[in-house]
Chains A and B, each alone.
Chain A
């Protein structure tokens, strides 16, 4: 196992797109959260009753412990950035025909898929580390007086990791099956940004929210909209409580889907001509 990780690291560490993507992730995660944070500050500096009540009841979404949740939620919007990297990492193997050479040189077919699983895991862990750093920074920056609550809501760290790994696994599957980077990227972006969003919204109102079982939505529900940003109105609390209550079952669905994805990859790779 360690040898597979070492070999993948040899491949990745001099791959320019990897460092570019890491740089972009390192900018966008704090960027989106900073924009939202200043939006929050602007919205809550008014003197009217509603904003003050909201502030009083729900607190600062970027202070501890809410920062774990809020930063995970906003950072997860940018899963498409590491997804591009994952698709490139697998389609490169086809482009360079190194998926064949690795086998010729002495890997089993299962080892090849395991090495790619480690790629996806490495990218997921790096994205989670960036999220962790951003959440910590905002926690202290937004309100240092609540720092003592840092141990609460830590569950969002593994939830963010699981969500990232699950969604990157979908990106991997597309790249793995389609083999061509641009076609895989096109399908990924079109489905992720347009099709599934429309389907989820439609299902929410017309089909008893069945859209929550769509591939990305299954893991999107691991990190629901933070309390502060939930819709205002009489149903807001009930809706938020419901979103929180279904997290455990979505953990199970996410694990099942992700396991299924990797089992498909192992099964296909075992049989197919390279």
Chain B
């Protein structure tokens, strides 16, 4: 299947600072694609380039199999960095401009998207009178206008309260269920962990890794084991077959196995047969945060 977006060797420098160093990856159709990275890693620069706000020094990108242009942008609902609207206009008037430029949606659809982001009651208020969270909701409404097949969200939950964050997360999940392709930059790992199917990790302008979330983050099973005598437990487990690494951690022992090969009942039986009773035995799902720090070497 042809990727929705294909990025090939994009580089961008601001004077001596290299914001992106030849980044390439594909976004498959129907993916919720998270672009991760610490502040200053080049996430927003990347999104700005694929939306023609910034010009790449080298490299190219292809949307829907054709070079990026105003025609391809009209098919994409986007929220980049901050909500950008005319302060003296109401939500409806601002969305009328979005509709007029992009050709996405109509008057009824404007009402629909305002309902989705819960701004219907304030739809005639001026943008300048909105709170930060309401501005962000309006930006999401503008992206949803016309129900585009592809959405680009840069830090979509910025400025939202916990309820708003949960609502947007649900909205993204629901959009994904309907087959939309969503490209989302975020530094909130929890957010990405909960909704993304694919990720690309950037660090100081370089692509560290890209692919399906399961492939990138869960390349091994980690089993946590403990007993009343950790020293004895360690010496016993050293003889257990099949693990790739063993590591004492606080009062526990961590056993690393290739993904899908950890068998808890075998570990339990092995220890029991050696006279050790376990008081902890579980497969730890490696948290995205841990892996992210590992990949980016950030502490």
Contacts and interface: CB of A to CB of B under 8 A. Distances in A.
Interface of A: 3, 6-7, 10-11, 14-16, 92, 96-98, 100-109, 111, 271-274
B17 interface: no
A126 B6 CA distance: 47
B55 interface: yes
B100 interface: yes
A90 to B, nearest CB: 13
A39 to B, nearest CB: 40
A96 B87 contact: yes
Contacts of A106: 70-71, 73-74, 101-103
Contacts of B85: 96, 98, 101
Contacts of A109: 52
A273 B52 contact: no
A6 B100 contact: yes
A177 B87 CA distance: 22
Given A106-B74, A108-B69, A101 B84 contact: yes
A104 B100 contact: no
B89 interface: yes
A111 B100 contact: no
**Majority secondary structure of chain B interface residues (helix, strand, loop or mixed):** loop
B64 interface: no
**Majority secondary structure of chain A interface residues (helix, strand, loop or mixed):** helix
The 7 residue pairs across chains A and B that have the minimum distance between CB atoms:
A106-B74, A101-B84, A97-B84, A105-B101, A108-B70, A106-B102, A105-B102
A100 B55 contact: no
Interface of B: 51-55, 69-71, 73-74, 78, 80, 82, 84-89, 93, 96-98, 100-103, 142
B53 A100 contact: yes
A249 B86 CA distance: 42
Contacts of B55: 271-273
B216 to A, nearest CB: 28
B98 A103 contact: no
Nearest to A16: B88
Given A96-B84, A100-B80, A103-B73, A273 B53 contact: yes
- Residue among B82, B85, B86 with the most chain A CB within 10 A? B86
Contact of A7 (B88, B89, B100): B100
B151 to A, nearest CB: 12
A10 B80 contact: no
